[in-house]
Amino acid sequence: MSRDEFSIIQRFFGALGAPRKHTRLAVGDDAAVLEVPAGRQLVVSTDTVICGVHFLPDTSAADIAWKALAVNLSDMAAMAAQPAWFLLSINLPEQNDTWLREFSMALDQVAKRHHLELIGGDTCRGELSITMQIMGTVPTDKYVTRAGAKPGDMILVSGELGNAAQGLKYLQGRKAAPEALREQCIDALLRPQPRLELRPFLRDYASAAIDVSDGLQADLAHILNASNCGACLQADKLPVNSNIAAEEALEFALRGGDDYEICCCVDSHFEAEVELWNQQNPDCQLSRIGEVTPSGYSLESGGSLIDLSSLPGGYRHFD
Ligand code: ADP
Ligand code: MG
């Protein structure tokens, strides 16, 4: 490791986030050492954000930090896991202290908010990209997977769909918009809010869950494939901000990326529990958008049935 690299790590990533009780060794040695509390399991995931793919080249360092951590936190939320630690592998085109300061301060803020500790990583020169590995824990066997949905389950989704797609359209200069919505949508794109508050709900009631990163249509399909089921969705139940143009609402809701909402399946016996959740959580409303079926994948819209299984789905990196 060069002196420059060492000083970057020390100055910007040496002690970041909230120290955790079960960390034995963090940044500075060849590896970190962690303890998994008795009665809990470790849940691990990784996600990369690349300049030009996951964020536009003029995105601020603070927004990049926010998004890189938020997309990883969103995976923890989908598993109903309590996030605890993360590793940061960063490729930097140059040593720019102003950029690094802004990046690490924003990262520290988001990490502290979620009681998350940075325990290590890697620092290289290269095109700007950030890979994080996040680690969390669940009470033994209380994780939620994509595989447990069954016919008759309600299909629920949190928050609103399509705002990030709308935000991207604004940023790319293709759309003029009312100021309020502009802020809401650009925030949704740049600063997604991982739905960690849903963890207890998912743990207690969800048969399957996924975070919606590539568009609802594609991500729900992952649940259906893993669970060996089908689904029927209701177009008029999809939660889309009323300021999004009607002719774009369906496209953005089904195939717009970067929502980072949670889609889950819940046994219909828990209807009252969903209602109670909605009463108690005005900022994280769960919309009932359809039902799990034995097979097929369709959308009911204005009296007609659209076959979703034959339509192209969400974002694919290798198309
Ligand atoms: P090694 O040469 O043994 O791989 P490194 O030089 O890559 O070690 O890293 C030295 C220490 O700094 C390690 O503890 C590593 O986890 C940590 N580290 C390196 N880069 C980062 C980073 N971007 N954020 C947090 N910790 C980092
Ligand atoms: Mg290394």
Q: Per residue in 111-151, pLDDT tens? A: 999 999 999 999 999 999 999 999 999 999 999 999 999 99
The pLDDT tens digits of the residues spanning 202-245 come to 999 999 999 999 999 999 999 999 999 999 999 999 999 988 88
With the C-alpha atoms ordered 238, 293, 77, 215, is the resulting torsion angle positive or negative? negative
pTM of the model: 0.94
Q: Regarding predicted confidence, which is higher, 26 or 177?
A: 26
Coil, strand or helix at 216: helix
pLDDT in tens, 198-214: 999 999 999 999 999 99
Please check the confidence at residue 256 and state whether its pLDDT lies above 60. Answer: yes
**Least reliable range by pLDDT among 22-26, 183-187, 278-282, 289-293:** 183-187
Are 271 and 153 in contact, with CB atoms under 8 Å apart? no
Which of 30, 99, 122, 134 to probe ligand 1 with, by most ligand atoms within 8 A of CB?
A: 122
Residues 270-315 pLDDT 10s: 999 999 999 999 999 999 999 999 999 999 998 999 999 876 665 6
Joined together, the tokens standing for residue 24 give 């034995």
Question: Which pLDDT does position 317 carry in this prediction?
Answer: 60
Which residue's CA lies nearest to atom 4 of ligand 1? 30
Predicted confidence at residue 313, as pLDDT, reads 66
Mean pLDDT for the stretch of residues 256-268:
96
For the segment 66-88, the average pLDDT, to the nearest whole number, is: 97
Q: Ligand 1: distance of its center to the CA of 10 in Å? A: 9
Contact 107, 90 (CB under 8 A): no
Q: Is 125 within 8 Å of 150 (Cβ atoms)?
A: no
Give the pLDDT of residue 314: 58
Please report the pLDDT score of residue 319 as a whole number.
Answer: 58
Nearest alpha carbon, ligand 1 atom 19: 122
Q: Is 123 in the pocket of ligand 1 (CB under 6 A)?
A: yes
Closest by Cα among 315, 185, 308, 199 to 262: 199
Strands (E), the chain: 23-25, 33-34, 40-50, 82-92, 117-125, 129-139, 154-158, 206-212, 230-234, 261-266, 286-293, 297-301, 304-307
Q: For position 281, what pLDDT does the model report?
A: 98
SS3 of 247-313: HHHHHHHHHCCCCCEEEEEECHHHHHHHHHHHHHCCCCCEEEEEEEECCCEEEEECCEEEECCCCCC
> Atom 11 of ligand 1 has which residue's CA nearest to it?
28
For residues 32 and 38, give the distance between their C-alpha atoms in angstroms, rounded to a whole number: 19
Ligand 1 centroid to residue 66 C-alpha, Å = 21
Residue among 304, 285, 308, 294 at smallest CA distance from 216: 308
Mean pLDDT, the chain, whole residue set: 94
